[in-house]
Structure 1
């Protein structure tokens, strides 16, 4: 170790902190990877594998990508299920000593916030599952389930129970199609498995424990109790939600202003469909080609905003059972279908509206550009027009009340 170069020692320090990530280490105009990471990156991204001396008698594998195109390569790694830690230079090289570096981002499939790594029409869910039951026998009596999309701030938790708990969990997986699933280490070692396309991350058991989860959640929301969130008695649900929060705090390095609330939900409020029914009904993708085109979603989706596309997908994947809410939704649809000229005007007004859900959440954590702010103002400028267009439609009165023109923000 003593004969290693200072840069090599610095690299190993960061790699020891993020052993489960591919570490992209900034060296001048390139992000380099070393050792096993280099071999993985060269193989998965089809780039050249070279080597670099780190001591008098040792060379190690090395593979790098240009800094200006790193986002493209990160996207490809995330798509393949890898976790990536980005280590940047935080001081200018002066030729007199080691450049200071710091891990500035940790990116996993379920914690992406970069727009170029996301699909506009789909949520990017991170889910945590806490099985409850006989660990040795692998039997589930209940399970805590929580999920969040840090790009929109959605955060929800529930508990499932009964002899068919494992099946109910699979149904939630089929409904939400999370990009990443967190599982306690003890149950992962017991051999709990999920569909191959799911990216599963094993998390230490203590992050799922009730006390640590409750402490993390109450500290984050600055409350004394979680009763106000509808989580009374949901010990496992709180455990799953706390595990998500602790994991996201780790990957986002403390920037969590976008997770401002937690919602308890019940699967009894919507029609539960198993994965085979969903597949055979071709709700969101066709049976054989697994393409949106030709599915029910593909036929119905005429949305012109990313937010509308995600909402329509959610409505299709969780059909309502509440008759009052169903009728209210149908009344709104009827009001719009019976007034084609007005519907066309509303549709035209919505064109060009930026993804406000995701933009406002990036704004909360300080990850926006001047171009984003210009697009935000242009989108908010359309709100008064939309309010005027919706006013003649009584079934949409509730929506009208929630359309805030945000005059203070528009006039900045």
Structure 2
């Protein structure tokens, strides 16, 4: 490698660390791919395959995309099942010497955060499953909203729960024992037909490793407060998720601020065939929401509301008291037409506060994202008043007295919106 360029050596070092991904290497205003990665990118993205000299006697294949359009190209690769490692210029560009570059993110189906790569009205779950005989652990996270949950359940229930979640990516242990388990092997075969399955080294799912990953992440001495201390399989699945996020998403894992432990016994068990035949969230033939139960009921005005409705339809409650509580909430707005109209006026056009907040925390927000957060927070005092109002009223709601002073302090960001 004596006669290769410094940039080439830098690229090869990065590629060696991410051999299982296509490396998008930032060079000025472009992300470039090289060698076999370039041939794949050119084929899958319809790019022109060129070449670049790397020494006095060698040229290598090269294909690139403009940095301002990279999200669309990454989306196409992710849909085709590829992983993309983004190598950014992290050092100061002075025009002299080699610019420092490092991989800031590895984009996989379950770790996408760019709006262009997401369906705003459905969660984007990364799941992990681990088996131990007749029992199993399942955890899932949505890094676009910070949601993180885990459970321990019968192995035969795993397929039903995964059918409910519809994760974009599922982590499993790459160990012969799983494939030798007939039930687990059958599940994995069916899962690969609909979900990107990512095998991980078996040690990632070991109880001690997983527990320590969770303790370190949440900076706690015990998992008692999360409700999973006595659920080893739930811990193993959750720890694998956190470890994977820390490995592929620099800084993004910090958005996972809590862990909820749940029991599938609270909800109606529906297998994949039943969900499909009931057309809860998509039609059988066209595989789209229009015409499904979700498509008929969905009158939500915000992406957050759309995701919540989808989640609730996919997870029917069994507890009569919880059902009555939800029905009371529906009845209150059904009967109070004025309040319902006022609430819809406030919510109409509201930005996706959940995902915008996480983009800010993850340090990937754009100026317009900050404007969106400002708009959403400015509407919060009025919305809170509408939700707290007990009796029907014909008057316009006054902003909540506790929140109004805070809303008045918001910067309208006029220099951004102008």
Give TM-score scaled by structure 1 length: 0.90
Change (3 A) 1:157 1:18: same
The match for 2:22 is 22
CA offset digits 1:336-358 (Å, max 9, x no partner): 11222321121111112211111
Question: For structure 1, which segment, 76-85 or 141-150, has the greater mean C-alpha deviation from structure 2 after superposition?
Answer: 76-85
Q: Which residue of 1 aligns with 2:382?
A: 385
- Contact 1:383 1:403 (8 Å CA) reproduced: no
Aligned Cα root-mean-square deviation (Å)? 2.2
For residues 130 and 14 of structure 1, the distance between their equivalents in structure 2, rounded to whole angstroms, comes to: 31
Aligned residues: 395
1:252 Cα deviation after fit: 1.6
Match of 2:282 in 1: 285
Residues 314-329 of structure 1 mapped to structure 2, 5 A cutoff: 314-329=311-326
Q: Would you say the 8 A contact 2:128–2:139 is kept in 1?
A: yes
Cα distance change of structure 1 residues 403 and 153 upon mapping to structure 2, 3 Å threshold: farther
Give the Cα–Cα distance (whole angstroms) in 2 for the partners of residues 320 and 243 of structure 1.
Answer: 28
- In 2, Cα distance between the equivalents of 1:404 and 1:152? 26
Choose which of 137, 146, 149 in structure 1 pairs with 2:142: 149
What residue number does 1:411 align with? 409
- Report the CA distance shift for 1:356/1:244 in structure 2 as closer, same or farther (over 3 A): same
Q: Tell me if 1:169 matches 2:158.
A: yes
C-alpha displacement of 1:381: 1.6
Q: Distance in 1 between matches of 2:373 and 2:402?
A: 14
SS in 2 for 1:20: coil
Structure 2 equivalent of residue 53 of structure 1: 53
1:297 pairs with 286, 294, 297, which one?
294
Distance across 2 between alignment mates of 1:91 and 1:228: 41
**Is 1:246 matched with 2:238?**
no
Contact 2:51/2:60, CA 8 A, preserved across alignment = yes
Q: Secondary structure at the match of 1:60?
A: strand
**Cα distance change, pair 46–10 in 1 and its aligned pair in 2 (3 A):** same
Which residue does the alignment assign to 2:195?
198
Determine helix, strand or coil for the equivalent of 1:48.
coil
Structure 2 counterparts to residues 187-266 of structure 1, below 5 A: 187=176, 192-193=188-189, 194-266=191-263
In the alignment, is the contact (CA less than 8 A) between 1:387 and 1:403 conserved in 2? Answer: no
How much has 1:123 moved relative to structure 2? 0.5
5+ residue gaps, structure 1: 134-140, 396-401
Q: Which residue of 2 aligns with 1:158?
A: 151
Aligned to 2:270: 273
Return the TM-score normalized by structure 2.
0.89
Name the structure 2 match of 1:345. Answer: 342
| Structure 1 residues 197 and 405, CA gap change in structure 2 (3 angstroms) | farther
The unaligned stretches of length 5 or more in structure 2 are 393-399, 411-418
Q: How far apart, CA to CA, are the structure 1 residues paired with 2:80 and 2:331?
A: 43
1:369 to 1:64, Cα distance in 2 relative to 1, 3 A: closer
C-alpha separation in 2, matches of 1:328 and 1:317 = 18
Separation of aligned partners in 2, 1:41 and 1:21:
12
Q: Counterpart in 2 of 1:123?
A: 123
More off after superposition, 91-100 vs 41-50: 91-100
Aligned CA distance change for structure 1 residues 43 and 326 (closer, same or farther; 3 Å) = same
1:289-320 CA distance string (max 9 Å, x none): 10110000000001001110000000100000
Q: Which residue is equivalent to 2:310?
A: 313
How far has the Cα of 1:115 moved from its partner? 2.0
Q: Look up the match of 1:334.
A: 331
Question: Residues 16 and 132 (structure 1 numbering): CA distance in 2 closer, same or farther, change over 3 Å?
Answer: same
Say which SS state the counterpart of residue 257 (structure 1) adopts: helix
Contact 1:212 1:242 in 2 (8 A): yes
Over residues 147-181 of structure 1, what are the superposed CA-to-partner deviations in whole Å (9 max), with x where a residue is unaligned? 011111111111122xxx2x421111110000111
What is the CA–CA distance in structure 2 between the aligned matches of 1:217 and 1:239, rounded to whole Å? 10
In 2 relative to 1, CA 368–410 (structure 1 residues): closer, same or farther, beyond 3 Å? farther
Aligned residue number for residue 395 of structure 2 = none
Q: Deviations over 1:55-88 (max 9, x none)?
A: 3443322211122211211121122222111112
- Please name the residue that 2:174 is paired with: 185
What is the distance in 2 between the residues matched to 1:149 and 1:180? 11
* Structure 1 residues 380 and 8: alpha-carbon distance in aligned structure 2, compared to 1, 3 A threshold: same
